[in-house]
Structure 1
């Protein structure tokens, strides 16, 4: 009887162990490939193994990979198929649209819309019967612009979650130099693909050559030191080892360009952006031992026949910031002498050259890190805090910070919204009131796109944008400069910095030259539509 009980217990234990092992095997298999193979059986699976058996030359000279049907599939093949099936099934999962998001999307869409019917004078109305001719000429000018403009934004690409390719996202190389293409490898396939199958990676570029600095045994490299290279091996470890020695050599005559290295392994592809560009030189300013405003900021302005208020401006600057250099650009018909001010550089221009021409002249003579611009009919007060503005630009990295007028809620903080277009009709530029967000650490300052004509700027960045000296901007211009700077500098508006505006309406000669009616605005609109490739200009 005892023998019988022992046999029963032993048999039970054996069954428990066997069942446990079977369960463990199934769990292990499902963890590696979660969908059971019974669900895969009815599906006709195409060959997925990235095995190269021959190469065909196409008409354009590029080689293509021909596949053959594999009778036996590896575990990798089955898992890839399962993942693709699961991705297809994901589209059938039900969902409920969030009303709040749809409302947000509608609001954002309304704020960033470019409706041709919103413009009071769209380009087709401004140019009238000449619109077709102007549009064709503008298209030619746009092609010239694009031909000399290099866009370095990285290319967009979709990478499958099961892609075995690892690669860098973007690299930079100076003209004629060499950089390492570090990080290109075929990952996580070594345990799924047999060494009996050939693995091949193809790489190509346009403006450079691909060269290897070393040779790895059992690896074949075709096209070394050319723009089209193929690396193949039966051993994936040797293949990856060879890719570790891959370099990109810039051999194009272009010293400012963008190239792409295309990587292909089987059906998987990747693109590596290459920026061919000299590394820019630094332009540094010494803030001095004491960090005084007079050593780091220059006050600039432009005047025309308004010497009485100009002298008040100079006196106010000397009162609050003694020793600060002042630059005056003057296009008056008759000049007055300002030599009694030792800290003033007075530059005389041809008569009535205009607003932006004067700004350009004054800015071109600035030798300090920052400049402070204001009109000639404004004066400093106790709240004209140049030290605050200087520290703000130092700490935040912004390029321009604006102030406001005394006893006025007007800050002239406005935002631009530019919607480009790939058509010949052109894009849309709209201007609206308001700022973006409060800047951390500076509760009185907000980020924006346009500020009042009372602002401090970082000299080098603003000078690189410049002020368009075209005659259409001679009498009135301001926001056009900030439109030119879109995407090139950061702008802030601070309400705690003020200047006082002196209303001087008695100067008949100035008023006659400044206020020319709507004719100049009509020509300005035509110029902007052509120059900035616009169809609509909206001011809300």
Structure 2
């Protein structure tokens, strides 16, 4: 989460990488046949940039396979070896580096899968094919390493996210390396389009204050005549909110601020949304684009908070884990973590004022607690 200096105001009215190989889609029609050729190149560039940002946000840019050098005679993947559940996968980087022996013998064992060597030929000594414990022996070091290059792992337990440990042994040397078992997820990518109207939706939770709401909408339209506005309204006697590019959703009465937020966010089709209160007023210098520029430059961010009049209300949370019986301690400190490099006046924070740009998919994963009805500000003792 980030705090920035963008402002509005309240109205006065009230190495190696796993999977770095192209995929092939068989017996299916490519999606690009539904896009006109004059749009395809630009669309593919936007898609590539969105996927790059997705990789950063999901940590895939750190998903690097690291091979341990032969400090022992055994070379193996220290980290970054990932398999999908119940799919046979070559184990990368396995090798033996040692002095000449009459016979070389290595073995591997796992717990949640089986091991096998592909295309075993006559004269190649492999014991334990498709079992949890496998051994390879040969009088040739070159042949041992050739067989190790064809060694595979297949998980036998279906689990979308777990880990196995492989024990790799030669004589009195043994190393252990992790095997991450994870079902791949389809990335959620939004087409950001070419301008702020296709990137951002403005969200408003309305309750009774229609005069202020209309002033807010008018102020938004000064600089953003085509941006979509979504209003979630739980007023007791709803009034119509009309206008171009406005969606007005009527809720049961007095459902609360966070219930309204959940409804509004559920209807967003853009990559980002801007949250504003119904008694805000946009200033001439209010620029949503500055929020978008920060989010596009730093894909790890979920929220960028602004400033309302002179109030940024940024704070950080300090958490001590404590013991399981009594729980931990969480403290709110009215401060920030650190400046954001490259953006003067912006700071990393855990909480921001109620005027922020949110990344739609990230906020949907967390949501807002509808148990908090009309008091959705900071909890205070009575």
TM bracket, shorter-chain basis: 0.7 to 0.9
Whole-angstrom CA distance in 2 between matches of 1:476 and 1:232? 71
The match for 2:160 is: 255
The match for 1:417 is: 318
The match for 2:257 is: 355
Higher RCO, Cα 8 Å, sep 6+: 2
1:350 to partner: Cα distance: 1.9
* TM-score (normalizing by structure 2): 0.74
Task: Please give the per-residue CA displacement for 1:459-514, whole angstroms capped at 9, x wherever unaligned.
Answer: 11211121122x2x22333679xxxxxxxxxxxxxxxxxxxxxxxxxxxxxxxxxx
Q: Give the secondary-structure state (helix, strand or coil) at the position aligned to 1:301.
A: strand
The match for 1:207 is: 112
Whole-angstrom CA distance in 2 between matches of 1:261 and 1:404? 52
1:395 to partner: Cα distance: 1.9
Structure 1, unmatched stretches of 5+, are: 1-151, 481-516, 520-540
Q: Is residue 364 from structure 1 mapped to residue 364 from structure 2 by the alignment? A: no
Classify 1:258/1:478 alpha carbon distance in 2 versus 1 (closer, same or farther; 3 Å).
farther
1:518 to partner: Cα distance: 4.5
Whole-angstrom CA distance in 1 between matches of 2:147 and 2:254? 68
Whole-angstrom CA distance in 2 between matches of 1:431 and 1:329? 30
Larger Rg: 1
Give the alignment's Cα RMSD to 1 decimal.
2.8
The match for 2:126 is: 221
Task: Please give the per-residue CA displacement for 1:429-455, whole angstroms capped at 9, x wherever unaligned.
Answer: 332222233223211222222221111
The match for 1:163 is: 72
8 A Cα contact 1:414 1:435, kept in partner: yes
Whole-angstrom CA distance in 2 between matches of 1:363 and 1:318? 21
1:362 to partner: Cα distance: 0.4
8 A Cα contact 2:192 2:270, kept in partner: no
Whole-angstrom CA distance in 2 between matches of 1:422 and 1:259? 29
Classify 1:464/1:421 alpha carbon distance in 2 versus 1 (closer, same or farther; 3 Å).
same
8 A Cα contact 1:216 1:238, kept in partner: no
8 A Cα contact 1:306 1:376, kept in partner: yes
Q: Give the secondary-structure state (helix, strand or coil) at the position aligned to 1:329.
A: strand
Q: Is residue 175 from structure 1 mapped to residue 77 from structure 2 by the alignment? A: no
Whole-angstrom CA distance in 2 between matches of 1:478 and 1:203? 56
Q: Is residue 269 from structure 1 mapped to residue 174 from structure 2 by the alignment? A: yes
Q: Larger deviation: 277-286 or 357-366? A: 277-286
Classify 1:444/1:167 alpha carbon distance in 2 versus 1 (closer, same or farther; 3 Å).
same
Q: Is residue 195 from structure 1 mapped to residue 101 from structure 2 by the alignment? A: yes
Q: Give the secondary-structure state (helix, strand or coil) at the position aligned to 1:363.
A: helix
1:285 to partner: Cα distance: 2.6
Which structure 2 residues correspond to residues 117-132 of structure 1 after superposition, within 5 A?
Answer: none
1:321 to partner: Cα distance: 1.1
8 A Cα contact 1:453 1:478, kept in partner: no
1:252 to partner: Cα distance: 2.0
Task: Please give the per-residue CA displacement for 1:72-106, whole angstroms capped at 9, x wherever unaligned.
Answer: xxxxxxxxxxxxxxxxxxxxxxxxxxxxxxxxxxx
The match for 2:222 is: 319
How many residue pairs are counted as aligned between the two chains? 316
Whole-angstrom CA distance in 2 between matches of 1:372 and 1:248? 47
Structure number with the higher strand fraction is 2
2:360 corresponds to which of 459, 462, 468: 459
Q: Larger deviation: 329-338 or 358-367? A: 329-338
1:346 corresponds to which of 205, 223, 248: 248
Classify 1:374/1:296 alpha carbon distance in 2 versus 1 (closer, same or farther; 3 Å).
same
Whole-angstrom CA distance in 1 between matches of 2:175 and 2:306? 48
1:160 to partner: Cα distance: 11
8 A Cα contact 1:203 1:228, kept in partner: yes
Classify 1:394/1:160 alpha carbon distance in 2 versus 1 (closer, same or farther; 3 Å).
closer
1:312 to partner: Cα distance: 1.6
The match for 1:375 is: 277
Whole-angstrom CA distance in 1 between matches of 2:75 and 2:163? 21
Classify 1:417/1:264 alpha carbon distance in 2 versus 1 (closer, same or farther; 3 Å).
farther
